[in-house]
Amino acid sequence: MIFNLNAANAYTVARQAVAPSHAASSPTVERLGSAAEEFAAQMAQVDAVSTGAMTGQIETHQLVQTIAEAELAMETVVAIRDKVVEAYQDILRMQV
């Protein structure tokens, strides 16, 4: 019984020690967060324009332009993801 209590207390202390600090976030993390929000907004805009085009409220050329912009944004996100995965794989291959 005492061992379980000690383990729970140790877990509580360790959990606080490794918790991320939101107050000291780096500018890079903030930029990535804002980029993700902009990407989500771009995809929401594509959905709205697509719906408008299907109902006849939005012209076809605007739909094509919005889809082209979304395609560019998607290619950018995929390229960034590929670089992150490549960097992670490089780290895994490092000798310790």
Task: Return the pLDDT at 23.
Answer: 57
In a domain? residue 57: yes
In a domain, 78, yes or no: yes
Prediction pTM value: 0.63
Q: Establish if 11 belongs to a structural domain.
A: no
Residues of the chain with pLDDT below 70 are: 1-9, 11, 16-25
Burial profile 39-72: b = 16 or more Cβ within 10 angstroms, e = fewer: beebeeebeebeeebeeeebeeeebeebeeebee
Domains: count for the chain: 1
In a domain, 15, yes or no: no
Q: Does 64 reside within a domain?
A: yes
CB distance 66 to 46 below 8 Å:
yes
Both tokens assigned to 80: 């960034």
The pLDDT assigned to 87 comes to 94
Residue 5 located in a structural domain: no
Residue 51's domain spans which residues? 22-93
**Distance of alpha carbon 77 from alpha carbon 43, whole angstroms:** 12
pLDDT confidence of residue 25: 67
Predicted pLDDT of residue 31: 87
